[in-house]
Amino acid sequence: MIHFDPDTYQALYAGQSVQLLPKEFALLRYLYEHAERSFSRDELLDAVWPLEAPGDRTVDDHIYRVRKKLAPWSHLLRLDTIRGQGYKLTRTDARLRENPLLQDEHFASDVNRMFAKYHGMGMGAAMRLLSANRDVLGLPGDPFYDAYVRFVGGDFSWLLETNGIDRWQQAVYAAFIHASIQFDPAASLRCFERLIAKGDELTPAWLTDLKLNAVYLYLEAGMTERARSRLEGIRPEIEEMDSPSFSALFLLKEMLLALEEGRPVAAAAKLEECGDLLARHPIRREKGAYLVAKGLYLYRQGNPAQGRQAVDEGIETTRQTQFVPHLLANLKLVLLHLGKYAPNDDALRKYRGQWNALAEQYQFDELLVKTNRLLAALL
């Protein structure tokens, strides 16, 4: 399987990479994910250039350039011209050679445990590396992690367009993406609440995750009573899960709620409790969120220099984990808090610049259109 890295616009296979331009990358990824299906030029224009007005030769020119760049991988795939229709990608790498490891149930179980361990430790880079080299290592696929690794890596368009995952799972991903890329909490809350109301359709972990993330949205919307009620409602679920990751995130939301309610002593206590938990369970992803929350607490307590240092460390820690959605969530939280409580702080300009760079890289405007359309259809 070829892996697509949206951070670098590279296609990766067996330690080799092909560097593409942004639209070449989007075109190849779209055709690869819809392999064996023919597309007209107009269909490809709608899929890859939805908000633009490119010229008549745009698709042909991009196909020509992509073909040249993929020449070393002619044994893996080819881009066919379908006379009178358009183009089709044909994959020839679909595990045609029998792999005995794929028949080994114990090996498959071990691989899933390895993915789960990296997931629990917040090691997104390791998850993405394993996923990118499944064929080379002979690793079996797993429906959950095949989709989740795309979410971790910021491959949001695939999650919104694929027909290969459960519709409710796709709706949850769409809701998380929607909440991550825009600043209207009410719009996202409507989606979250409708999904939470579908409780029987979702796994317990998905449902708890939705409820926990809804707390942030309630706080963004200034609905502190709703945030408190939601936290108290899911406290038993968090305790029953006995998950250091969920427990740390729960404590951080309690800390932010206390901060918004003007209870700095309680906020400091929750922050300390979370720090102690992460000292026992060093989860890098949650450590990034903890440092960001600590920085915001310090800002609110009149220590902007220390606050800025903690936020910087938290954002960089999160960036290193390569969990793109968590990076977006932490940056968004920083922008909201500094915009409200430290609007003249020099760091705010820097964080806005980082957000704008990510907005361009992941094409937030297009994603917002896609998430709204998908959520309207599913909910």
**pLDDT per residue over 128-158, tens digit each?**
888 777 766 777 767 778 888 889 999 999 8
Average pLDDT, the chain: 88
pTM of the complete model? 0.75
Confidence of residue 97 (pLDDT cuts 50, 70, 90): very low
- Assigned domain for 164 exists: no
Question: How many structural domains are present in the chain?
Answer: 3
Kindly report the CATH number assigned to the domain that includes residue 40. Answer: 1.10.10.10
User: Do both 37 and 186 map to the same domain?
Assistant: no
For 136, how many CA atoms within 13 A lie in the half-sphere containing its CB? 12
pLDDT digits (tens, 9 = 90+) for 262-294: 999 999 999 999 999 999 999 999 999 999 999
User: Do both 231 and 367 map to the same domain?
Assistant: yes
Burial 263-275 (b: 16+ CB within 10 A, else e): eeeebbebbebbe
Asked if residues 12 and 5 have their Cβ atoms less than 8 Å apart, the reply is: yes
- Assigned domain for 166 exists: no
User: Do both 187 and 114 map to the same domain?
Assistant: no
User: Do both 120 and 257 map to the same domain?
Assistant: no
Confidence of residue 100 (pLDDT cuts 50, 70, 90): low
**pLDDT value of position 135:** 67
Asked if residues 231 and 250 have their Cβ atoms less than 8 Å apart, the reply is: yes
* Gap between the Cα atoms of 288 and 21, Å rounded: 31
User: Do both 76 and 111 map to the same domain?
Assistant: no
Mean pLDDT to the nearest integer, 350-357:
96
In this predicted structure, the answer to whether residue 103 has a pLDDT above a threshold of 70 is no
Nearest CA-CA partner of 307 in 318, 289, 291 = 291
Find the domain containing 57 and state its range: 3-91
User: Do both 50 and 114 map to the same domain?
Assistant: no
Kindly report the CATH number assigned to the domain that includes residue 272. Answer: 1.25.40.10
Nearest CA-CA partner of 191 in 173, 204, 205 = 173
* Gap between the Cα atoms of 300 and 288, Å rounded: 19
pLDDT digits (tens, 9 = 90+) for 200-222: 788 888 899 999 999 999 999 99
Higher pLDDT, 122 or 244: 244
- Assigned domain for 36 exists: yes
